[in-house]
Chain A
């Protein structure tokens, strides 16, 4: 936006095409067409963003300036998007009679097609960051990309500041080396600081579209009353159906796949008019998803219930209502989500929120106030690239052929997130990739890369296959399938291994809409028995964990503390707040309000600090350390933006010594190093950097060859090589999820007034916490006691007992 837009030199054929559609090119579309170098477009959804990104390509095609080979590479965070874009582009290309080959390339693309693309790339290739990294690992990469003119990155705001974004930035820098004349176009939804995104591309001209009218967002009035806890929203099925009936086409967003299934069923149970309603989420087969997408594009549906798999900017012009079940965890996400509705630039988007429980009513109200106040969540700092991603990138490039260390260093510094990378950091990463980077240098076999005539290359080129299999930065949790009954019963779904590990026989949990009892784990299959009558002890949650902004937390606390503001709340929610005051205490600004209660053989301690998730998690680690010392046998903790919940075998009767700011850090170093957050982070870092091979589906069943746990590597490194690169990365990444200890001490000093109550049971406020995702187990004396109890229980159940004489196992 530096100067006045140059005179439109849009090719006549393209201008005519716009006119034929009855459209006028937007100002920002023309600005994107005429941007000299890299450009970043900030536009609300519906602003013809994707078309703006492709206009220069279409213009080149109209004037016959395509050149040979690949002209444009389109990268999106979701493979579903590549499919959709291919369909949307085919229309203008056909109308204009252009001879353009457009293909997508994702994990779903067939091997033969991928092989052909390596030899004969299409003019426009639509792909994901992971597939791009894979292509860059091929020896043919220079030939494939040498004629590349443009790269279009869609939904760049969703990629920047993540490891996928780091990987993409490194890939872009590589592409610029291979095709020096390249220009990059980033397409982004509205963000707080466009400059940081422009820096991500490595410097770009920023093009701002008109923001469009403000969105129309409100809570959906419901006849049903939301439950105390839970996230399904089923109570509102009738009200949502009524909203669907009144709209042309509705998108219903819900957080997890399991919830989507349940809500879809709930909708159909009350769908007396048989309105055509579809379901779309990532666990459905590719065919099933495409069927729904196509039906929707053809106007055959009135509503689709969907999870995040459709979350990012699908260009569905006919949607005129978005219903969000459950509170959006941050405001920015809410605005971006509803931006999908009604893709006409001049009419406001309409969205209705259905809080899933009463706490979320508060959260929704606070979020709506924030939207009205025009507050977006902060976008944070300019991105700093992960060194584990850099290690993977170096490995990836080594598969393509020999490289020179100095040139690679300069290439990497050109990538936005790595602009401040020091040569020492780069050398550390290169050394790790080449030799493992261990302090112990006795071995000559620790050589994955070696130097030949100044160039680095793979010692054994056959290793490339394994390296390629490991490409990617998403480290998914291990999933175990759940089956009914012993041996080959009906499959019910999947749960995370860490969740399964926390179960004891007899525990009940919810899966696929039913309560089941955990029986045993056999051959990596969780065997369960349905228990329809019992209330589940634990709920399965494997949705995304998103942080609420601190602004939103503060607004929620203000709402709770101000009785006069309760008038704005639905009656049931005001009642619920009143009930909390009866059994415990309502949190007020400036105090530390907490409560202890027991449930199911565990003691729970809930602290309502409203200090943000990082602060609460940090406080939780500090507190459990003191609880372990006080022999209260803490077993785990979970932190949200509002509260901290710790569970233990013995109760917290006096929280004051646990929250004493003095001496808070004593002995914390070891406690932190041994906690589960650190080990979890290490596993991801070790996988991304190539130390651990990714577990591929089906591989784990090979029994004995089951991989040893990354925890063993972590412990070994800590003992023998505490300054190893991967431990340094692990520490700095874990600390990102924790608040500064100094801040915690300050907070405790500033709020010395501790209000502790001992309610007889779970309180209204604590109920949603009991279902919170992201539990962190504490491995200490408590776990040992559980093991003792479980061993004793099993012995007793088998009618056995241990006594002074050794038990006989054989006559």
Chain B
């Protein structure tokens, strides 16, 4: 896991793609896309293995347990569509009920699940939590950002001056490259934290080859950083 500070608040990025906010005792996740395979099957598409909801919820329970967070904030697209919310399997429904019973859950609505019960956005400690990044400082999801590191494409947190964007937490989710104009319009310079087996922080520098410096500390003599 990797710690970072954003507008005076301290956060920990987890290898699963969840974001822990200790000061608020909250775990933030984005784009669970529960019920994705069900939605595709319902629409006559491919019959994907119907296990991603269980896989996603299992991971979420493990993260809630390891961080001992009281609050859970889901930053939208928690369900792959509005109908998927009512079509959860009994097992998945029971797991979800178990999570909501034990935690104070805040559901933000997304573009996939606009009619699900939830809020469009909330503000905590001066930071707005919403589905799609807008007027910063905010924390959001939606884009499923990924970056390429040592030849591998990894889901990543993007951290800029005004926005933190979370990777998708759901099991069957694709991704958008951090170099995509939709994302570079939001975050010019900053950091990415890759997820996977463990987290790693890398600089995020848009097209200009020279890093403008600015907010970050300059290293002395190019020492190797410690393992995150």
A446-B47 contact in complex given A800-B203, A802-B228, C-beta closer than 8 Å: yes
Q: Which residues of B contact A631 (CB under 8 A)?
A: none
Residue in B closest to A686 when the chains form the complex, CB atoms: B46
Q: Name B175's contact: one of A447, A520, A706 (CB within 8 Å).
A: A706
Does B219 touch A at the CB level, under 8 Å?
Answer: yes
6 A-B contact pairs sorted by A residue (CB < 8 Å): A440-B50, A463-B45, A703-B177, A717-B51, A791-B200, A807-B5
* Alpha-carbon distance between A460 and B47 when the two chains are bound, in angstroms: 13
Q: Which residues of A contact B10 (CB under 8 A)?
A: 806
* Alpha-carbon distance between A800 and B203 when the two chains are bound, in angstroms: 8
Q: Nearest-CB distance from A199 to chain B (Å)?
A: 34
Q: Which residues of B contact A719 (CB under 8 A)?
A: 51, 55
Within 759-784 of A, Cβ neighbours of B (below 8 Å) are at 783-784
CB pair A445 B87 closer than 8 Å: yes
Q: Name B203's contact: one of A504, A706, A787, A794 (CB within 8 Å).
A: A794
* Alpha-carbon distance between A792 and B87 when the two chains are bound, in angstroms: 45
CB pair B5 A707 closer than 8 Å: no
CB pair B89 A442 closer than 8 Å: yes
Among A466, A706, A719, A724, find the residue whose CB has the most chain B CB atoms closer than 10 A. A706
Interface stretch (choices A29-37, A233-241, A543-551, A687-695): A687-695
CB pair B219 A809 closer than 8 Å: no
CB pair B51 A436 closer than 8 Å: no
Q: Name A443's contact: one of B50, B176, B201 (CB within 8 Å).
A: B50
Q: Nearest-CB distance from A524 to chain B (Å)?
A: 8
Contact code string A488-516 (vs B, CB < 8 Å = 1, else 0): 00000000000011111000000000000
Interface stretch (choices B102-110, B115-123, B144-152): B144-152
Does A808 touch B at the CB level, under 8 Å?
Answer: yes
Q: Which residues of B contact A799 (CB under 8 A)?
A: 211, 213, 216, 218-219
CB pair B176 A787 closer than 8 Å: no
Residue in B closest to A781 when the chains form the complex, CB atoms: B197
Q: Name A523's contact: one of B159, B180, B227 (CB within 8 Å).
A: B180
Contact code string A667-706 (vs B, CB < 8 Å = 1, else 0): 0000000000000000000000011110000000001111
CB pair B52 A716 closer than 8 Å: yes
* Alpha-carbon distance between A757 and B84 when the two chains are bound, in angstroms: 62
Q: Which residues of B contact A706 (CB under 8 A)?
A: 174-176
CB pair B51 A440 closer than 8 Å: yes
- Chain B positions within 8 Å of A, measured between CB atoms, are 3-7, 10, 38, 41-42, 44-52, 54-55, 87, 89-91, 137, 143-144, 148-153, 159-162, 171-177, 179-180, 182, 190-191, 194, 197-198, 200-203, 205, 207, 211, 213, 215-220, 222-228
Q: Name B47's contact: one of A522, A691, A807, A810 (CB within 8 Å).
A: A691
* Alpha-carbon distance between A523 and B10 when the two chains are bound, in angstroms: 33
Q: Nearest-CB distance from A316 to chain B (Å)?
A: 44
CB pair A523 B179 closer than 8 Å: yes
* Alpha-carbon distance between A799 and B214 when the two chains are bound, in angstroms: 11
Q: Which residues of B contact A522 (CB under 8 A)?
A: 177, 179
Residue in A closest to B214 when the chains form the complex, CB atoms: A811
Q: Nearest-CB distance from B183 to chain A (Å)?
A: 10
CB pair A712 B172 closer than 8 Å: yes
Q: Which residues of B contact A436 (CB under 8 A)?
A: 41, 47-50
Q: Nearest-CB distance from A134 to chain B (Å)?
A: 19
A808-B152 contact in complex given A440-B50, A440-B51, C-beta closer than 8 Å: no
Does A796 touch B at the CB level, under 8 Å?
Answer: yes
User: Which 10 A/B pairs are nearest by Cβ-Cβ distance?
Assistant: A436-B47, A801-B219, A802-B225, A798-B203, A790-B150, A720-B51, A460-B44, A791-B200, A706-B174, A806-B3
CB pair A791 B201 closer than 8 Å: yes
Interface range on chain A: under 10, 10 to 19, 20 to 34, or 35 or more? 35 or more
CB pair A692 B46 closer than 8 Å: yes
- Chain A positions within 8 Å of B, measured between CB atoms, are 435-436, 438, 440, 442-443, 445-448, 459-460, 462-463, 466, 486, 500-504, 520-523, 690-693, 703-708, 712-713, 716-717, 719-721, 724, 783-784, 786-792, 794-804, 806-811
Q: Nearest-CB distance from B186 to chain A (Å)?
A: 14
Residue in A closest to B51 when the chains form the complex, CB atoms: A720
* Alpha-carbon distance between A795 and B205 when the two chains are bound, in angstroms: 11
CB pair B216 A459 closer than 8 Å: no
* Alpha-carbon distance between A460 and B41 when the two chains are bound, in angstroms: 11
CB pair B191 A784 closer than 8 Å: no
CB pair B194 A787 closer than 8 Å: yes
Q: Nearest-CB distance from A272 to chain B (Å)?
A: 45
CB pair B205 A501 closer than 8 Å: no
Q: Which residues of A contact B180 (CB under 8 A)?
A: 523, 703
Among A440, A795, A797, find the residue whose CB has the most chain B CB atoms closer than 10 A. A795
* Alpha-carbon distance between A706 and B175 when the two chains are bound, in angstroms: 6
* Alpha-carbon distance between A503 and B218 when the two chains are bound, in angstroms: 28
Q: Which residues of B contact A462 (CB under 8 A)?
A: 44
CB pair B174 A810 closer than 8 Å: no
* Alpha-carbon distance between A810 and B126 when the two chains are bound, in angstroms: 14
CB pair B225 A446 closer than 8 Å: no
Q: Name B152's contact: one of A692, A703, A787, A797 (CB within 8 Å).
A: A787
Residue in A closest to B11 when the chains form the complex, CB atoms: A806
Q: Nearest-CB distance from A724 to chain B (Å)?
A: 7
* Alpha-carbon distance between A808 and B213 when the two chains are bound, in angstroms: 12
CB pair B150 A786 closer than 8 Å: yes
Q: Which residues of B contact A691 (CB under 8 A)?
A: 46-48
CB pair A716 B203 closer than 8 Å: no
Q: Name A445's contact: one of B42, B143, B227 (CB within 8 Å).
A: B42
Q: Nearest-CB distance from B205 to chain A (Å)?
A: 6
Q: Name B49's contact: one of A438, A463, A502, A520 (CB within 8 Å).
A: A438
A520-B179 contact in complex given A794-B202, A809-B215, C-beta closer than 8 Å: yes
Other A-B pairs, 19, CB within 8 Å; known A446-B50, A799-B213: A436-B41, A440-B50, A445-B87, A460-B44, A502-B151, A520-B148, A708-B173, A719-B55, A720-B54, A789-B150, A792-B225, A794-B202, A795-B201, A796-B222, A798-B203, A798-B216, A800-B216, A801-B225, A809-B159
CB pair A809 B174 closer than 8 Å: no
CB pair B213 A802 closer than 8 Å: no
Residue in A closest to B216 when the chains form the complex, CB atoms: A800
* Alpha-carbon distance between A721 and B37 when the two chains are bound, in angstroms: 15
A807-B172 contact in complex given A448-B47, A503-B151, A798-B205, C-beta closer than 8 Å: no
A809-B173 contact in complex given A436-B50, A716-B51, A795-B202, C-beta closer than 8 Å: no
Among A503, A717, A809, find the residue whose CB has the most chain B CB atoms closer than 10 A. A809
* Alpha-carbon distance between A523 and B184 when the two chains are bound, in angstroms: 12
